[in-house]
Structure 1
């Protein structure tokens, strides 16, 4: 069983007024309502949803947090539209740059972005490690896959075939030995779609900013080489979503399937 999403239900004195504020001022993309006159409704943007219930569920003054790409850019946009801004963007000691915005029912939203490692910014690597723009060798790739404990399907895949596909790749090397302790691959058509694959770091070297700097290197390559508006995607477990959020990745709706049987 998997949890998919969470949707706050906010108390509203006037559902239509709430929908108007969140779409016309705060920039949510779409809205819907239920009832005649409406007593329930909701808004959404980029997978983030908020529901409103008129004078029933919840209470005025609820707090919630929404993470986005750039809180300073968002601040300028909604300020010009008359948003009720309690505090402008401020960098906090816990690694979030955030601002406080209120609605007409007294609900307070903390809009912010992660500033610990913003996309494109270098981070502090161990002195004994460097990031190199190259593909891992077959043996390096196989050792990394085994070290991070990936599935039998991945371990049995043909590494030579996998490593023939990337258009760009990075390897984290231990300086003294030249040993590969991490890698990240980038596939794509070099026209409109790119796919980040196999971001791996040896367990003993994790939580040392190595994965972050490999992703920063890939982000810089994309910014310099990918066409404008190209789509960049990846698959990951939900627990890793906060890591990839800092590079601009967002939850997206889509469809997929796994091959069950090989053809004879």
Structure 2
């Protein structure tokens, strides 16, 4: 039976700030010539509206002198790549940098520019590992193998890395039983599971790697790399030719996974929210 009452679900595809400014033309010129935004446009003669673009960043400006004075000090936070090169460019163009490039406690490198309207633009990028201590060699007591995790081992690793998990032991057991392979790093001296990676999939054309974890006491000792090598070796043997291997990760961890042959790809996700289905 057809359901003619099904309505399309709304989704948010794009957002951009609209800043009140005194002079749209001069503002667009500044963001183009000083801050470097290549895309720029204005509307009206003289301009009463305009904007700039740069890859995924879009900023609009509206002529509103009263609003510009009342809202002076507005802030736009822009995430970038190659932040050091951008920082150098803004220095060369004599942008008014009011906070110099620094690593922040929340894991980003950031600097702040004050524009000609008195508004603040924060440019930010995930902090690199430059200046951090390098990983230690993997201890000789660590071994990796393929085996099932117990629920207690799985929960211990989840708690160790700071993930929130309130699921019951029964549900965690079901999740572990649904795997096609589990790579486990053990402390051979005690038999303790100190790291893992779960592989799910149909066993034929698609495999998905999730829950790559290393106990906090064993991090930066190349345990995670050893776990991923164990996963790669298993997939090289058991995954059919042409199978797709997927995982989700943050930008900061991309180089780690690239070591085992993963590359960036465009994707889309949907997360079920039962509260919206009632």
TM-score by length of 2: 0.50
Unaligned runs of 5+ in 1: 164-168, 187-194, 219-232, 237-243, 259-264
Unaligned runs of 5+ in 2: 1-9, 159-164, 200-206, 228-245, 256-263, 272-278
Deviation of 1:156 after TM superposition, in Å, equals: 6.3
The yes-or-no answer on 1:118 pairing with 2:124 is no
Query: Paired residue for 2:50, among 31, 35, 41?
Result: 41
Tell me how far apart the structure 1 counterparts of residues 99 and 75 of structure 2 sit (CA, whole Å).
Answer: 14
Deviation of 1:137 after TM superposition, in Å, equals: 1.4
For the aligned residues, what is the CA RMSD? 5.2
What is the 5 A alignment of 1:1-264?
7-35=16-44, 37-55=46-64, 59-91=71-103, 96-115=108-127, 118=129, 121-122=132-133, 137-140=146-149, 157=178, 159-160=180-181, 173-174=186-187, 176-183=189-196, 197-201=209-213, 205=215, 210=219, 235=248, 244-247=250-253, 255=268
Partner of 2:234 in structure 1? none
Tell me how far apart the structure 1 counterparts of residues 130 and 49 of structure 2 sit (CA, whole Å).
Answer: 38
Structure ID, larger Rg: 2
* Residue 138 to residue 215, structure 1, CA distance change in 2 (3 Å): closer
> Secondary structure of 1:105's match?
coil
> Secondary structure of 1:16's match?
helix
Bigger RCO of structures 1 and 2 (CA < 8 A, at least 6 apart): 1
Deviation of 1:143 after TM superposition, in Å, equals: 8.6
Tell me how far apart the structure 2 counterparts of residues 23 and 133 of structure 1 sit (CA, whole Å).
Answer: 55
Deviation of 1:76 after TM superposition, in Å, equals: 1.0
Deviation of 1:112 after TM superposition, in Å, equals: 3.5
